[in-house]
Chain A
């Protein structure tokens, strides 16, 4: 029993040790991957900000963000990496519509933003897949963390 307890404790400690550093969004100074959509008749928007450690924040006004369920860290790292792999860092798209979709990457106020409108098509197959992946993952994370 004592051996089991010790192993349990050790495994819990290892979990704690492996856990990434958690940030308050306002204090975070690293790269941020933003994405979201909205507009239409209501003008309602969903804004997301993903940190490299997988922490995800959601806002409906673009200013006040609440943390929601995180991405898996490996997934987050992959999404950051894919931004360049897909060449999105070389794109310049600023064409919002009645419904607007966007993906952004940046640090502080230095942000590259790709935005497009329409509602049916995104301007690039890679960007479309990238955006859809993000929004699908975020769709499972709308509830604030406990």
Chain B
């Protein structure tokens, strides 16, 4: 039944988004790309180029601007301190000094004043969850976000009032506009939601529970984010039976099950808990007592036990949190520390059983595992109580449970320990680990997971997951504070050469580089693991914040450092926080609790591990500006011609017009301005060669098949990419050098995460990046909607089609060749017509459309900043000037279709105020280019090549000698000034015979397996 429901309702998972960007037309015949042959052409010499490339796949995606910013067109700065909706994650306000008497009304006032920045309107409110005052008399609030009286499930903020008058808001707030169009009134009743849930159970049993407050089905109406879209949903927290508990999110409009996940079976829970293994409860008092016994380290420990009836239990009822009157002993202590025995069963298996660790005489010798677990749990509890004034894991005196002798699913000894949300589970070790209960830092680590869960509740994926792991390590190391090692008492040196599982002082841990299985971790962001394994490297990348803590604690002392990190966790971080948020939180906490020296130490620690204050490092260098003339080619719609002129207005070049009869595509030009490709209205592919030395122009048909819709050429002229007129989701790429071709099917890469952004219908605008490895394109996508009318929208992607290191096409068999410019476009928004900056490969401009609002925007992929260049009335088809200091674009007015121009600010992504002007009248689709030569191809590795390769003599007559160090160049090619290959061969020795060449200028290309290099020479 459940699966039927899932199937029935799965059609309604996505929210419609209108697309008005371009109009899809019906598909024509499908073209067999493998049969395409291009005509031979006089190809130009690839220019000698060297500017850095950019990896569009590892760069952060841009975040679409928030609605209010889109509407007023204000210049905005989006950086990593804003969430994916563009809402700031940290707002600083300066209020009245001496805020010691802060009340809830002050919180309300602060939030009211920040509504615009948080993109909240009349429907939003924030409901205080907690209010606390810290040691320095600062006041801290935690509050949930509500829209129209409905809680936003993942919307939560913290607000902080300081003595000096400063006020902070931190956390995750969802803009109110996101909820526009979502009816806050449930169409599905609460009773129906429970019925849906109940219907999906396979082993439902009605539970009769003694606590009057217990409810088998708890419900709450929430706004729930599913696949990037919010739904009004019933959150049903349901006990299927005594052993199984589930969370359901049921669409309150359609009844679709949006998500479901399990929580745990509470061993002996109190609040809303239930007993998994019933025991006979014995009312107090029998009483707490103590015993002394040897633990797994061979140390005699004094432990707190409990006498009940004629037995003694491994139950600590002696701590301040113990609530005797509320307890039912020994099975249901409130504020107790209880150690239980899983008897070598696994919690995943149906035979899982737990029982008390019992002694008839309070003699625990020979029960070393239980003694260790029990002692270590008590030590960990005391650490949080005495150091951080925290009353147990949940902060409210909740009991601690340790389970020993836990097996894996196959009944084998488990070499691991874990926290499952309510209890610690210890295995008895394997070939890599001693019994895990042996080590104090293991217990500290696992209990700290519980503290994290009850404070920031950091999501266990990616950077937030790595922070979750790191906080567990940090407090584990502070509880077991004699060194900076994690797990040194359980990790076997035969597996871990560093003698510990992890090392906060040196996360590399004396293990082979990158060997995570032997204890190696990154210690700097530049070593960060980026794969999907380990939930995005949560146990791997924890080395980075671990090391930051070590550096911080070394600078100011462990006592201050642990205070600051605990305050950061408790007050400032939220579920989705990232590394940069951790830095912000720690710096703020250092300011709260101490002074400038501690603030500086915090900043320094994070700087040293590569977590910067701003958007982060790895900025790319700009290329040198092309030294040639400023040239513009465009289409004149009045005369139906393609024209070429200089920026100063000279239109006598090459006997204008270049082409008469119209274009189907925008012209694409190489970086040296010598080669152009375009599609004519006859759907043929054309190639133009411009000889700037002679003023001669040649036009040839590159493909005589009338099957094309768009074509672009790489900056170096080595390859072209083209689209067929059948409007299928394919980009065809051809490499002139190898004469090979490959077709790439476009897709939306979010599919693998189970979140669909729809199917790609076809691409339209394209442009090669500066290295010729990537094509940026726009494409129309189609999303099925619950209304039955498919929704279309445009967005921008990067196709990785060429690999410079291997000098080959990238694979098109595995779908890992596409990345997207935007992480997610808001509903009703489209982006298209992308164009790269001429000299900064990490900057590009594009059209951004919402309803009738046409904005020319630009973004910086390194910083994540998004700027506004010009508010247009139609699509802009932007293009950067040679020096990136201006931008041209289509400008349609009452007077006609012209090209406009705007001066850019230094960041290349924002237009200068009042600098908009007409540029060329009766003109569209302008392309600004130049005819100089510059290097486009040198990254660090090839710079070295250049230094290591020399040729002599130059000029040469008969022989060209080559000096090559280190690199393994296998063959060579020599091109004449017209681009024709005139000589080629294997590089057998250190000389090439050139006596057969005519006098003139040539280019030598040396080819290696992963490198190639050009050198110019003159033959006398």
Contacts and interface: CB of A to CB of B under 8 A. Distances in A.
Contacts of B420: 97-99, 117-120
Interface string B215-240: 00000000000110000000000000
Interface stretch (A15-23, A50-58, A70-78, A124-132): A124-132
B813 A125 contact: no
Interface in B526-545: 531-535, 538-540
A45 interface: yes
A43 B442 CA distance: 12
Interface centre among B201, B419, B517 (most CB of A within 10 A): B419
Interface in A42-85: 42-45, 47, 60-63
A61 B3 CA distance: 33
| Range class of the B interface residue count | 35 or more
Interface string A2-46: 000000000000000000000000000100000001111111110
A65 B469 CA distance: 26
Interface residues of A, number: 52
A136 interface: yes
Interface in A71-118: 86-87, 90-101, 106, 108-113, 115-118
B535 A100 contact: yes
Contact of B445 (A41, A60, A94): A41
Interface string B345-357: 0011100100000
A62 B532 contact: yes
Contact of B261 (A39, A87, A93, A132): A93
B418 interface: yes
Interface in B734-766: 751-754
Contacts, number: 170
B631 to A, nearest CB: 42
B261 A139 contact: no
B261 A116 contact: yes
B389 interface: no
B3 A87 contact: yes
Given A44-B415, A123-B260, A123-B262, A98 B449 contact: yes
B516 interface: yes
Nearest to B754: A92
B202 A41 contact: no
B648 interface: no
B117 interface: no
A98 B416 contact: no
Interface centre among A61, A106, A119 (most CB of B within 10 A): A119
Contact of B753 (A61, A94, A124): A94
Contact of A109 (B244, B418, B465, B815): B815
Nearest to A119: B420
B245 A121 contact: yes
B410 interface: yes
A18 to B, nearest CB: 30
Nearest to A45: B534
B446 interface: yes
Contacts of A116: 261-262
B10 interface: yes
B321 interface: no
B460 interface: yes
**Which 5 pairs of residues, A with B, have the shortest CB-CB distance?**
A43-B539, A87-B3, A62-B533, A40-B418, A119-B420
22 contacts: A40-B425, A41-B442, A41-B446, A41-B501, A42-B432, A43-B539, A44-B415, A62-B533, A87-B2, A98-B418, A99-B416, A109-B816, A110-B751, A112-B752, A115-B535, A119-B348, A120-B348, A123-B262, A124-B2, A126-B202, A132-B409, A135-B410
Given A40-B416, A125-B202, 13 more contacts: A40-B419, A43-B540, A62-B531, A96-B465, A108-B813, A119-B347, A119-B418, A119-B420, A119-B425, A120-B264, A120-B348, A126-B3, A139-B410
Interface of A: 29, 37-45, 47, 60-63, 86-87, 90-101, 106, 108-113, 115-126, 132, 135-136, 139
